[in-house]
Structure formats: C-alpha cells, structure tokens
Amino acid sequence: MSVKEQAYAELREKANMLVHGIRITDETAAKTGAGVTVKEGGREGREKPTPANFRTPLGFNVAITANPDSDYAIEYAEGRFLLTKKGHLLYDHLEFERRPQYYARKTTDGKWMKDIVSLVTNGCAAIWYSNECAFKYRDEGCLFCDINCGPGNIFMKTSAQIAESVKAAFDEGVAWRIDFTGGVIPQRREITYYTDAIRAIIEALGRRDLVAAACIAAPRDLAVIEQVKEAGFSIITMNIEIWDKNIFRTFCPGKDRTVGWDNWVKALEFAAKIFGFGQVRCNFVTGFEPQHKTLEGIEYLASIGVIGNANIFHSGEGTPLEGHRCPTPEWNLQLHERAADILRASGVTFAQAANCHPMADALYHDFWRIKDDLLPALRQSA
C-alpha cells in the first residue's frame, strides 16, 4: 500500500470514528491522564474525563466522542494505549494531546481558566462567551442546537476573565489566535460584548496584530459587520447552516424570521468585501438537505472568497432532533472531498482555509492535505 493509499485508508477510519464515536472505559480514561497531564474533552455524563483527541500514524487529528456501543475502542495493554476495531488492533502506541499548563490555573476572581478559554486545534484559544440564545426564548431556536439557556443556567464570561485567560495561553506558547462564539443575546448585545472583550485582550497582550475571529448572527444592519472589523477582529463567521431556503426556514426558524435567508447571504457578501478574500467563514450542518444543496452553497460562497465548511451532525440531548442519525461516514467523506475540490478550484489556498477555519478535525482539510501532498509523510515519499 502506498503512503497516499494509507492516508485515504486512515481518513476512512477517521470518518467512521467521527460519526460513530469511540469506546473507552472510565478506568482506561483515567490511565491516559485526561484532566491531569492529557487535555480532556467533554465529560458527557461520565465519571472520568476522556482525552480530547489523538493522531493517526500519518498525523490526522481525531476528536474523541465517547460511545459505549462503538466498534472502535481505546484500550490499555502492557504500558501502551491501543486503538482496536471490532477487537482487532488498528493503531498501536496512541499519543494524546498534552494538557496546557494554564488549564490548572485560576483567574484573579477564582474561575478556572479552562472554563473561560478552551484550547482547540492549531493554536486556537476558543471562547464560548455565553449560552444565552434570544431565538430559543421565543421557541425559535435552530432544531439541531443544544445551547442551554434555561432559567438559572445562563452564564456570561467577563472581559477581564477572558483577557487574563487568553494572555496565559499566549504566554505559555500554546495559543496564537482567538475564536469567539456563543448564542444570540437579546437586543444583539453580543456586538458590544465582542468589542469590550477584544479591547481587553488587546490591552492585556499589548498588541493589535491578532488573528481573531468573531462568530455572529448575520445582521440586517450591515454596518454592524464594519463595527466588528473596527473593533479588532480579522475574521468573521456567520453560520447560515442550511443552503436550501425552505429547509432553512424549517430548521432555523429564528434565523429565518429575524434575519431571513436572503439577508444572510447579503451579509456574507458584504463581509467578504469588508474582511477580504478568505477571511469570512460560514458553517453548514450536514444531513438536513440533499448533499448537492450544501455543495451548491459552498461553491457560491467560495466564488466570493468565503470559506464554507460542513460540520458533521450529532444529535444533541434535549433538542427536537434528539435520536436522529448522522449521515453515513461514506456520505460525509464524499461531501468533504467535493468541498475540498471546490475550495481548491476557487483560488482559496489551504493556508487561508486553515487560518479561517482552524479545526484539525475537518475532513475537507484532510482531503486537501492528501491531494496537495501537505502531509509530511507524503512529502517524504514524493
């Protein structure tokens, strides 16, 4: 098997794991050092945290979603961790991402920094600023979204907490970019919040030349997009989620009634002019519309310099879509390969796509790496 054939084989296994999850017992999870020396992922109701991710032999990043019924399992034997599939060895000597030191620190006001700023892939300090959603208050939340905004459960991180935690991550050398996301606050107060938070970060770091992304709901008033740029953000994200207008109306009722599909697209077009080619991101959630409709959206957005990326759907507990199945791994692989081809043909570079969407789990990034020989192993074999 050639190195490129091996890369495609690993990518097929990765897609299966992203869709079906991985089995790991609490005992094995504890042995990994997750939450102590290894960066932890979500607890998902478990007693012990699981490692956030691992890398395949050729270097593909695999996020670990625990599923006790998966054919894939992380096991411990003779001092090493193994990945098995249906009881057969798949990968030997698994290595997990190290836990950043700032995760063990607290802010001045006593909050764990890891709860304020999460370290995700590619040096990205991710801030989920609030779990409040104005659409859900009106019972118009996106059907697939599990954001929690019930009474007594709302949180809001302060600018001081965020700036202190971001500085700790930057000073440690594990982060060099910032990504804000969260819900839609009533009266669109998140715009003021973003401005306050990025100013606090700029002051704490003593620099303005930051790679910083802000995720907002598309505004009807396009001047808001200019405000986000002027505040200090270099990338903006506005997630339309679904390209088909009628399906968008059904699955995203709040976005449809408050903004509307046509206005959302106009906002993305305007943002591409303000932020520049390759500096605007738009997520799609897979499986709710025919594949060709999502690809139609990715292709149109690519033509104006917007990075469209498809997120693999997982049904959230308590959402209207709880229990709904994700499309098959094969379906997702086909979608992501076509998305990679569309973006490559549009003039977007891999560096631009990785900068705008810094998620090493993205399958379309992996296809891109294989096709353009960007994996170190592929370069060595060329």
Q: What is the pLDDT of residue 138?
A: 82
Give the global pTM.
Answer: 0.93
Q: Using CA atoms, how far apart are residues 177 and 170, in angstroms rounded to an integer?
A: 8
Residues whose CB falls within 8 Å of the CB of residue 6, separated by 6 or more in sequence, listed in order: 57, 58
Q: What is the pLDDT of residue 264?
A: 97
With 0-12 / 13-18 / 19 or more C-beta atoms within 10 angstroms meaning exposed / middle / buried, residue 127 is buried
Residues whose CB falls within 8 Å of the CB of residue 223, separated by 6 or more in sequence, listed in order: none
| Whether the Cβ atoms of residue 147 and residue 137 lie closer than 8 Å to each other | no
Q: What is the pLDDT of residue 103?
A: 97
Mean pLDDT by 10 residues, the chain (382 residues): 93 96 94 95 71 95 94 96 97 95 97 95 89 82 78 77 98 96 76 92 94 94 95 96 97 94 98 97 95 98 96 86 92 97 94 89 94 83 60
The CATH homologous superfamily for domain 105-381 is Aldolase class I (3.20.20.70)
Sorted by where each begins, the domain ranges of the chain are 21-91, 105-381
